[in-house]
Amino acid sequence: MSGYKTARAVKVRGLCMGGGFPVTVQTMWKDRLDSASPEVVSRIEGLKSLGCDILRFAVPDEAAAETLGALAGMTDMPLVADIHFDHRLAMRCMDFPIAKIRINPGNIGARWKVEEVVSKARDKGIPLRIGVNAGSLPAGLRDDADLARALLQAASDEIGILEDLGFSDILVSMKASDPAVTVRANRAFAERFDYPLHLGVTEAGPLIAGVARSAIAMADLIRDGIGATIRVSLSDTMENEVIAAREILGAIGQRREGITLVSCPRCGRHSFDTHAFTARWQSRLYSMGKTATIAVMGCAVNGPGEASHADLGITGAGDWVVLFRHGEIIRKVKPEDADTVFEEELAKL
Amino acid sequence: MSGYKTARAVKVRGLCMGGGFPVTVQTMWKDRLDSASPEVVSRIEGLKSLGCDILRFAVPDEAAAETLGALAGMTDMPLVADIHFDHRLAMRCMDFPIAKIRINPGNIGARWKVEEVVSKARDKGIPLRIGVNAGSLPAGLRDDADLARALLQAASDEIGILEDLGFSDILVSMKASDPAVTVRANRAFAERFDYPLHLGVTEAGPLIAGVARSAIAMADLIRDGIGATIRVSLSDTMENEVIAAREILGAIGQRREGITLVSCPRCGRHSFDTHAFTARWQSRLYSMGKTATIAVMGCAVNGPGEASHADLGITGAGDWVVLFRHGEIIRKVKPEDADTVFEEELAKL
């Protein structure tokens, strides 16, 4: 841990990033935002209940800026505008209660444009996130044989532009699709800068690949004290990105709240389909706002014993389904009543 | 890495585990094996094409032993019999070309039973895997406040029983559902013993939780040189367990063969549904036996540039779909032709 700076705190609407505050979780809206509808607000509420702290939207044009602005007034979820090239979109977004702008000053052209953005961000108290990606490095850095060094240099150049204007309300990300490169770049950054880091592995792939690559890189960094906020990029739903982020934080002991779900993989001994049960209950368990360990086990031989640490467990026992609490069997029911009884016991937790 | 012993090599049918050989991947059959049918053989072939090196089956009774024995003669996949308590099942399995028996000598009762099993295993050249799980520790160890120490002690006691009989063709696993406990137990083991380790986080949960917990624990251990074979336990399919294992190995640079799939998470700028495309192609890409990087990107602005390292890439470009190779656009087609053209280009790799 030695050698890494502690990140300064940067305020992102009501949230503190860095400064020793808990690592926050974010995801990014996956489709064009056509309207700030009640359906959008309701999906955002769902993301929040799963553990999403902050939500980013691509703003490719003026219409998207208007819609995002309207949406920002309809939810208390901190919303981030992701902008490439066109500084007018950033200017427009800052007319609304936007929590953060992701923009690379090196990409928006003439110095006066950067000055305009920085000046408005300062007035409004809106932080800027510099986002450097391995695949879109500036021309001069693209051929560096050391990709981690190039990412750090690109971030450092972008930071320099903002610091020259006296602006330091900055967050930074450096993402590569190779977890090892991502880790090296972020470690090198934390040796030199104290801006809070947004961690992510870029183009991490579909669900399994993306979770594996992100978990390994983020665990390495967060356990070193590096990283203020994380986004697990998946070619999958936002909800799964949030679940993945919380599971990664949980696996390294950084998240104490919420449901810890343990469940057995099923084998030839099973009399209870743990796959179907976890699939059916996962979202609801993760959204229920309780802190407990829930076990879903395949057979009575192993179930209550192997999961005796669980606050509530369910398993098969021949033709019956058994519920247990801290290893003690509390109810024995017919399979068709399992979900109802499980729900009752869940409510008692 | 200092302080950890290099594992001795143990032969498991045609495979070498430990001894500096590559880390192998395994999974476990999830249902009762009712017959050694061509469908079972065909599913095993599918698992093999995804990267599964070894496959375990629960053997809860005599009928299961007979079926597994028959199956072992129908495939060259090394098959492992998982046995609890009843030493006669182990004896029967060893009449067939079984690759390994997972059995805890401390669980099978009288010493003569252990002697019979050990004697037959020695005659047949079949290694035994001791599998210690946090949830099923012997009574005397269950209340140890240090779970990792208890796991190590349980493994050490089981090893002692086999070593007393002069048997050393041993593999060992120590699994907890907490990744940190799993890591601590296995590191402590590798400081003391040189038996190859089978790594796994037990009851790791459904897909996302299980991949996150397993990836973090396995990455920590394998990068320390610990672990000869891995099994990612998921409340999900065997195929996904194998894909998860290869992705974990790939993410830490331990797997050089096969397809590396990078794909973007999609955002409001996308004009190509990377989710649907990766879902449609993932299994086939992972099974095709080629080594290449394939990129599935959401938009033409970022696509070919961000994935310029890809041997083949596909992305949207307005109403068109574009294929690229090492950043150069090679074909531009209508969306309805995307899969056909992608397949053609894939064949050329």
- For residue B231, the model assigns a pLDDT of 98
- For residue B55, the model assigns a pLDDT of 98
- For residue A1, the model assigns a pLDDT of 47
Mutate one of B89, B144, B203 to test the A interface: name it (highest A CB count within 10 A): B203
Shortest distance between the Cα of A166 and any Cα of chain B, in A, equals 31
Of A207, A216, A243, nearest to B215 by CB-CB distance is A216
Q: What digits encode the pLDDT tens for the residues B247-282?
A: 999 999 998 789 999 999 988 888 888 999 999 999
Lowest mean pLDDT among A168-177, B157-166, B225-234, B271-280: B271-280
Do residue B268 and residue A296 have CB atoms under 8 angstroms apart? no
Would residue A3 count as lying in a domain? no
Nearest CA in chain B to A29: B267
Q: What digits encode the pLDDT tens for the residues B112-138?
A: 999 999 999 999 999 999 999 998 899
pLDDT at residue B244 tops 80? yes
Q: Predicted confidence band at B1 (pLDDT cuts at 50, 70, 90)?
A: very low
Residues A190, A118 within the same domain:
yes
- For residue A280, the model assigns a pLDDT of 94
Do residue B211 and residue A215 have CB atoms under 8 angstroms apart? yes
Do residue A307 and residue B135 have CB atoms under 8 angstroms apart? yes
Of A30, A250, A301, nearest to B267 by CB-CB distance is A30
Beta strands B10-12; A229-231: pairing state: unpaired
Would residue B279 count as lying in a domain? yes
Q: How far apart are the first and last CA of chain B?
A: 38
Render B330-343 in DSSP notation, one character per residue: EEEE-GGGHHHHHH
Shortest distance between the Cα of A205 and any Cα of chain B, in A, equals 4
Q: Predicted confidence band at B11 (pLDDT cuts at 50, 70, 90)?
A: very high
Angle at A201 between CA A249 and CA B242, to 5 degrees: 75
- For residue B2, the model assigns a pLDDT of 62
Nearest CA in chain B to A301: B136
Which of the 8 DSSP states describes residue A163? H
**Percent of chain B predicted with pLDDT > 70:** 99
In this structure, chain A runs to a length of: 349
Assign residue A66 the CATH number of its domain.
3.20.20.20
pLDDT in tens, chain A (349 residues): 469 999 999 999 989 999 999 999 999 999 999 999 999 999 999 999 999 999 999 999 999 999 999 999 999 999 999 999 999 999 999 999 999 999 999 999 999 999 999 999 999 999 999 999 998 899 899 889 999 999 999 999 999 999 999 999 999 999 999 999 999 999 999 999 999 999 999 999 999 999 999 999 999 999 999 999 999 999 999 999 999 999 999 999 998 789 999 999 988 888 888 999 999 999 999 999 999 999 999 887 677 777 888 999 999 888 899 999 998 999 999 999 999 999 999 999 9
Do residue B177 and residue A251 have CB atoms under 8 angstroms apart? no
Shortest distance between the Cα of A211 and any Cα of chain B, in A, equals 6
Sequence-distant (6+) residues with CB within 8 A of A238 are A27, A28, A29, A30, A43, A47, A52
Nearest CA in chain A to B247: A209
Q: Hey, is A6 helix, strand or coil? A: coil
Q: What are phi and psi of B273, to 5 degrees?
A: -80, 90
Domain boundary among A251, A282, A316: A251
Of A82, A211, A252, nearest to B208 by CB-CB distance is A211
Q: How many CB pairs under 8 A join A and B?
A: 227
Residues A217, A272 within the same domain:
no
Tokens of A251: 């696996």
Give A-chain residues touching B32 at CB under 8 angstroms. Answer: 268-269
Of A235, A265, A295, nearest to B265 by CB-CB distance is A235
Of B250, B262, B265, nearest to A30 by CB-CB distance is B265
Beta strands B320-325; A100-102: pairing state: unpaired
Query: For residues A92 and A83, is the Cβ–Cβ distance under 8 A?
Result: no
- For residue B256, the model assigns a pLDDT of 76
Nearest CA in chain A to B203: A264
Tokens of B51: 């990267």
Would residue A55 count as lying in a domain? yes
Tokens of A337: 């009543």
Residues B325, B206 within the same domain:
no
Nearest CA in chain A to B273: A235
Mutate one of B208, B260, B282, B299 to test the A interface: name it (highest A CB count within 10 A): B208
Query: For residues A261 and B209, is the Cβ–Cβ distance under 8 A?
Result: yes
Residues A321, A197 within the same domain:
no
Mutate one of A28, A175, A211, A301 to test the B interface: name it (highest B CB count within 10 A): A211
Beta strands A10-12; B312-317: pairing state: unpaired
Residues B59, B176 within the same domain:
yes
Strand order in the sheet with B24-28: B170-175, B128-133, B100-102, B79-82, B54-58, B24-28, B229-231, B198-199
Give B-chain residues touching A297 at CB under 8 angstroms. Answer: 203
Q: How far apart are the C-alpha atoms of B112 and B319, rounded to whole Å? A: 74
- Structurally, chain A folds into a number of domains equal to 2
Compute the average pLDDT of residues B207-216.
Answer: 98
Query: For residues A71 and A41, is the Cβ–Cβ distance under 8 A?
Result: yes
Do residue B82 and residue A270 have CB atoms under 8 angstroms apart? no
Instruction: For residue B24, give its domain range.
Output: 10-251
Mutate one of A29, A178, A235 to test the B interface: name it (highest B CB count within 10 A): A235
Which residue is listed with tokens 């690592």?
Answer: A23
Would residue A5 count as lying in a domain? no
Would residue B264 count as lying in a domain? yes
Give B-chain residues touching A254 at CB under 8 angstroms. Answer: none
Give B-chain residues touching A211 at CB under 8 angstroms. Answer: 207-208, 211-212, 215
Give B-chain residues touching A241 at CB under 8 angstroms. Answer: 265
Which of the 8 DSSP states describes residue A139? G
Do residue B30 and residue A265 have CB atoms under 8 angstroms apart? yes
Assign residue A301 the CATH number of its domain.
3.30.413.10
- Helix %, strand %, coil % of chain A (to 5): 40, 20, 40
Give B-chain residues touching A306 at CB under 8 angstroms. Answer: 133-136, 202-203
Cα–Cα distances (Å) from A82 to A60, A98, B85, B247, in that order, read 8, 11, 59, 30
Would residue A88 count as lying in a domain? yes
Render A183-204 in DSSP notation, one character per residue: HHHHHHHHHH--SPBEE--TTB
Do residue B265 and residue A64 have CB atoms under 8 angstroms apart? no
Would residue B163 count as lying in a domain? yes
Q: What are phi and psi of B316, to 5 degrees?
A: -90, 155
Q: What digits encode the pLDDT tens for the residues B37-57?
A: 999 999 999 999 999 999 999
Domain boundary among A204, A233, A251: A251
Domain boundary among A188, A219, A251: A251
- For residue A220, the model assigns a pLDDT of 98
Residues B235, B306 within the same domain:
no
Residues B294, B217 within the same domain:
no
The DSSP element (H or E) to which B20 belongs, if any, is none
Nearest CA in chain B to A175: B306
Of A64, A135, A247, nearest to B268 by CB-CB distance is A64
Query: For residues B311 and B349, is the Cβ–Cβ distance under 8 A?
Result: yes
Neighbours of B57 (CB within 10 A): 27
Tokens of A32: 């064009």
Of A235, A241, A279, nearest to B264 by CB-CB distance is A235
The DSSP element (H or E) to which A90 belongs, if any, is helix A87-93
Do residue B136 and residue A302 have CB atoms under 8 angstroms apart? yes
Beta strands B292-296; B259-263: pairing state: parallel
Sequence-distant (6+) residues with CB within 8 A of B104 are B84, B130, B131, B132, B158
Would residue A1 count as lying in a domain? no
Residues A242, A263 within the same domain:
no
Do residue A241 and residue B265 have CB atoms under 8 angstroms apart? yes
Residues A266, A245 within the same domain:
no
Do residue A251 and residue B295 have CB atoms under 8 angstroms apart? no
Nearest CA in chain A to B308: A135
Render B168-186 in DSSP notation, one character per residue: --EEEEEE-SSHHHHHHHH
Residues B208, B266 within the same domain:
no
Q: What digits encode the pLDDT tens for the residues A141-164?
A: 988 999 999 999 999 999 999 999
Shortest distance between the Cα of A220 and any Cα of chain B, in A, equals 9
Residues A78, A221 within the same domain:
yes
Q: What digits encode the pLDDT tens for the residues B68-103?
A: 999 999 999 999 999 999 999 999 999 999 999 999
Shortest distance between the Cα of A236 and any Cα of chain B, in A, equals 6
Closest-CA residue to A124 (of A152, A101, A157)? A101
The DSSP element (H or E) to which A331 belongs, if any, is strand A328-333
Beta strands B10-12; B170-175: pairing state: unpaired
Which residue is listed with tokens 């990068």?
Answer: B223
- For residue B300, the model assigns a pLDDT of 76
Nearest CA in chain B to A59: B268
- Extract the runs of DSSP E, i.e. beta strands, from chain B: 10-12, 15-17, 24-28, 54-58, 79-82, 100-102, 128-133, 170-175, 198-199, 229-231, 259-263, 292-296, 312-317, 320-325, 328-333
> What's A218-261 look like in SS3?
HHHHHCCCCCCEEECCCCCCHHHHHHHHHHHHHHCCCCCCCEEE
Of A58, A250, A308, nearest to B135 by CB-CB distance is A308
Give A-chain residues touching B236 at CB under 8 angstroms. Answer: 265, 275
Nearest CA in chain A to B251: A213
Q: Is the dihedral of CA B19, B23, B24, B25 positive or negative?
A: positive
Residues B301, B208 within the same domain:
no
